[in-house]
Chains A and B, each alone.
Chain A
């Protein structure tokens, strides 16, 4: 009784039975690439109870560790089932591979075991609480450290790194002008266009100017600049400081008695606090320009008329409300960016993780604070 017979290099296993003993005939290429069909055909084999079995390797022309493992595990299982099994006809190399498989039969866990769902949930909750608590303390400590460093400059101003700060101002402010300008301009256009469309319904097109001025000066100028800067510079802070940390550069600074606060954090912080209001003012102007352009093109409000109207509409505080928020948002982005950078833990994965966190946290905090400011300013009536 024989089954399966393929030709050439095809791997094959067949079974012969002569009175009372069985022979397993293995042939062809017993290599890793052929292991799936071999695995299936070996599983399909069946034997009489307790009959002795001979495994004939004579016709195997290629054997690798995967093939040796398949042979070994079959023999091991048959022996465990009470059969008397022996190999026959294997070359020295083939037998040594089977020996390797025998010597290294130690099934191990592939993944760490999954703990019970309830326990895991509790564990997750506990870990999150600990993490949030730890982060709150650490970020408060970071703010404190920054304040202390800034205070020390009052007695030792020579420690302040002017060159680094100016360089950061260029990177954060000057280089961001094209993108901030473009986006503010487009948003100005969108507000004017949408506003005009609605206001035309009751013949109040001229109030488009009020809408544009209030929306751009109070909210959109600052909000857009802050969000762009959080995505552009906040992420860069985290990635730069994070990769320096990964490369042990921060540790090197410490051992050279150079404070990373002085060299890395303060220049970025000061630069952002200074540049944010400037960028916001620039975004305001460009946003109004966009609104004015659309008002002229689609509503026929002449530029001069738009300017006069703007002049009437701005009652002192519109511009101020936007600009007051700017340094605060700037400080926030710098703090979060630098803090997350320093919190990196020395792997590329961690740098990526903290960069994402820095951007998401910054934008979240900006919007929360902005909502708070909006209500606050309305309540006090400015």
Chain B
């Protein structure tokens, strides 16, 4: 998928975009513009996220990767454009309708964003406690234990407070909370940042495993070339305020956009074995 396909997305009518999210597209972003006074950070951005894929979003610092993610999940306001999810324009929905859609995705923030006053297991139980009326405590305990085991945390981490965990364990616990209600889409903000290479590789495996077993769609912002190569099906490059290129790693390697060339042909990418392909 190369630049002309982005042109096709750009020409789609809102109805076509809406229809697409009822089929194989999980989220369709059209003409998105976000800014905080001054010139916009993101302008006229189009992107389709397919069901069941792992898509990596890359871009230099300050190109608005996090802003894009925060806007799609409703934490930032957009000045223009639409975000279609499950056949509805998320940004125009009322507060309560947005809450309903939000239950269908989970988010992992960069530092895990665990509630510091609750234990790890209680953190995982929060979504169940809040959104499922009358869930028996016994069942919540069991399901929380299962989710913690699924993300590879040892049982003795469950009764600990988040402050007692290492960075990698916090992120695993964050994922366990994000998948507590079996979301369809998982957003990850720099999931491997701050982890050692072994921990990062294990985290990539975890994402691939969860995606396979739970049938998740994963959207991840990352700088980690290893993650991009090993777990991402497609990569979207943010540059010049929009998605400049979206495609597989091979498409990236063929591109002659200066930033993309430097990113995927630089010394670090050779170390990650990207150039060899």
Contacts and interface: CB of A to CB of B under 8 A. Distances in A.
Interface of A: 31-33, 35-36, 39, 64-66, 69-70, 73, 93, 96-97, 100-101, 103-113, 347-349
Contacts of A107: 141-142, 145, 155
A65 B147 contact: yes
B182 A110 contact: no
A31 B150 CA distance: 18
SS class, residues of chain B in contact with chain A: helix
Nearest to B161: A112
A62 to B, nearest CB: 10
B149 A65 contact: no
A348 B116 CA distance: 10
B2 interface: no
B214 interface: yes
A110 B159 contact: yes
Contact of B134 (A36, A64, A66, A110): A36
Contacts of B132: 32-33, 35-36
Given A66-B143, A105-B146, A347 B116 contact: yes
A93 B179 CA distance: 17
A65 B214 CA distance: 8
Given A36-B133, A73-B142, A31 B215 contact: no
Nearest to A64: B182
B164 to A, nearest CB: 10
9 contacts: A32-B181, A35-B135, A39-B139, A64-B182, A69-B146, A108-B121, A108-B155, A108-B156, A111-B121
A100 B131 CA distance: 23
Please provide the 4 A-B residue pairs with the shortest distance between their CB atoms, ordered closest to farther. Answer: A108-B155, A104-B149, A64-B182, A108-B158
A32 B128 contact: yes
Contacts of B222: none
A93 B145 CA distance: 22
Contacts of A96: 213
B136 interface: yes
Given A66-B143, A104-B150, 18 more contacts: A32-B128, A32-B132, A33-B131, A33-B181, A36-B132, A36-B133, A36-B135, A65-B147, A65-B150, A97-B213, A104-B145, A104-B146, A107-B141, A108-B156, A109-B155, A109-B159, A110-B144, A111-B159
Nearest to B214: A65
Contact of A101 (B125, B141, B146, B182): B146
B136 A36 contact: yes
Contacts of A108: 121, 145, 148-149, 155-156, 158-159
Contact of A110 (B119, B133, B139): B119
B150 A100 contact: yes
Contacts of B230: none
Contacts of B163: 347
Contact of A65 (B146, B148, B156, B160): B146
A201 B142 CA distance: 74
A106 B213 contact: no
A105 B142 CA distance: 8
B176 to A, nearest CB: 11
A32 B119 contact: no
B122 interface: yes
Nearest to A100: B213
Nearest to A102: B146
A101 B135 CA distance: 18
Contacts of A349: 116-117
Nearest to A43: B136
A64 to B, nearest CB: 4
Contacts of B213: 96-97, 100
